[in-house]
Structure 1
């Protein structure tokens, strides 16, 4: 008969097992509700007589530390004090910070079915140590999807599977540094965390000013990080002229453009702008993930890498030992191949389109195009940003400011605003969250940049 493993340090003497069990329970090493092995199983594991185990269990049951029922076994009792009188219910807290989708939209049934289906059919080899670039079945599915849905020029050999965009950026920064790149240009404003990831891998960062046409072309950088389809956080699209200028810069200087397509599937007024990578696959790395389309907790993304960077990137994967688990790779490949991923994105797009329109109707002027999972509301000053954040906190709103979150390369920049993550709340909380936000912003000093 088999049971759970249980480690006990048993000394000499007839009461040794009883004392060891008592210590494990009182110290919390065996928490309340833990099912203990049967007496016969534990006796065999410890090399003691079954009667010794029966006596030890009986004593601890008598002390109230264990609970035993015929046919159900023995488990650790809950000896905690009864809870105090319930507190009055707290005011609802609404999370409107950017960076996450509505996790309630995650297609759990589709995902569970995909995991079950693919694991049942998986070969032994697919569960072994695999190609650091990722399972071929997923790389093929990603290449097909990106070619069709985002206009990327790719085949399976160019795809590297990552555990999300940040992981991909760390790999690229390390690979670029090993190839001699000492400075990477990043958008200003842009995520401070991305700058930190780049610097941790070796290269320095330099700001690329962002205006209504997107980021400015760099000088003195060997690579750049862009969000061309929907700049984060301003929400503008990289203009055709700037797209051509960046590609021209990359060709002339041998530079690399890292294209972060973090929410490129979500455009609400027209079809999403195509990938910059299609203009020059030899100089652009296309990077995407499932963090905005499905859920960040999946920890799954991809890079489409030019030939000259493939070996350095795979060397970085090998050096860090960071790869994505086979079950997740098999499941997402299945969703892509069956069209379930596309159908989910379409459903989510309808939800977010409606929320974005409702947000725009209540708050004006929002910066940027109707796209993505966030919108920027410009404010008159840093002081006004802090006042609104404090008022929001008092009203039960979790908000994010552009200056307080470190989006500017320089702390002296005067432009301020809220980055509103309208996709974050669950569907049932969206309208109350919007009402609370509108109330907090009533009379706020709004100033377009």
Structure 2
């Protein structure tokens, strides 16, 4: 094994694969797909099976490990781990307004249609054909990575030994509208919990909302801070330690100066680090499409919000954060999304998204699957996860309230160990 990186407790090798942009046109345009291979130092020469990690998102590169810890430490006891930068992310021909600037809006939209779970799985199988052509491998998906796992079980189960899903067992049939009807209710509950836990949080955020309404305020990245943007901080409320981070940010938002109350420059810099829309545009461009099969999303979160007027903040009313929702105005307010506004509109109106799941194949699935379902998950509706669990053969699940959506990040050793035990038939306690 060629070692490219030595970290505490593990060694790593970089792989880059040149693969088709469109698998229906194998001789057409290509993209690069990057994978980082990890192995324990004392197991470098062992013929270990692979475990491939599918990151959450969509639109985020795989985790960059600092040391051998968490779920990776547990996995390296018996696997070589492959951290896949899904196409368009990380080092895999990353997508941005800069990289797409040479294309027209129509061409941008067409290009972006090739970056859903179906092609992510095709990439994985193409990589397996090169790295492990005579062996199946195991896969693990966190959040959106779970969507990729179910697609893998549909499209290429012959390539799999087993699968693990954490916080990402999606509905197989529910529309984006149905998903957001449930999600807004989940976000309401997280808001209630947040403002109950932090007794002065409503006062802090209302004062900030009032200030930025009355005084033009600009973030460190150049955008004018709006109330709608401020509400987006709620995307963090469903993560372990997320509410605390949001509260501590709000605590520092306003400061008293000789010129009166002003927004703290520290807040204006840190705020940008809490949201990923400027840095990870696929998340905004393709998020709703992950629910689309033969129908358009048509800005589902924006339309469904009309049923939840309490999220439309007005002075004198309680402030509520929103959650993992994408809105059309984001492409008018975030600098790195503005050049992609026309493409985003076309993607929202696209009706012919291909089917992602074959219900009959999943009904007869023979690949062992173990899933962690978090009952308090703000991003993935528990009811829909349980519906899916009942429709996928050979799937066992662990339903728990112990963790939030990012359980694998908080105690990955425990989460992955339980899923490995599930697939081995060991009774959980």
TM over 0.5: no
